[in-house]
Amino acid sequence: MPSETDTELAPAPHGRATIRTHHDDPELVARALRPDNTDEMETVVADETTVVTRIERETTGGLHSTVDDYAVNLEVAVDVARTVRDAPDGRDDNVADSDATDVPPADATEQYDDPADTGTVSDADTTTQEHNE
């Protein structure tokens, strides 16, 4: 006779995806991907060249959206890994001749003290201060 339990079973996800990609530095790619993972995702390094991400969503539409977002994040992660591999110090050779107010190179990996390419830090509009209080 089967035993009775008080355990509630969570509904099974309607959609699952497993994405395997191969990289020169899979650990770096996985580290770049993990911060963007949702609770329904897991990214692991499977072996010396493979990153595996498993996604489970309750709806097919949710799975589609998550896989689409993951593909964009993967492209960025691969670009990050390539930049680190090709320019490990993250700076051009001629940057040492410039000062901190120069615009950093496109592949810079460190923060500058006085970046020249940033916009407004606050969303407060000083011309309409009474509306931003």
Q: Where are the domains of the chain?
A: 15-86
Q: What's the pLDDT tens digit per position in 78-126?
A: 998 888 888 756 554 444 444 444 455 555 555 445 444 444 444 444 5
Quick one: pLDDT band at residue 5, thresholds 50, 70, 90?
very low
Task: Report the alpha-carbon distance of residue 80 to residue 36 in Å, rounded.
Answer: 14
Q: What's the pLDDT tens digit per position in 35-77?
A: 999 999 999 999 999 999 999 999 999 999 999 999 999 999 9
Tell me the fold of 15-86. Answer: TATA-Binding Protein (3.30.310)
Q: Over 70: is that where the pLDDT of 30 sits? A: yes
Q: Over 50: is that where the pLDDT of 7 sits? A: no
Q: Over 60: is that where the pLDDT of 12 sits? A: no
- pLDDT on residue 40: 94
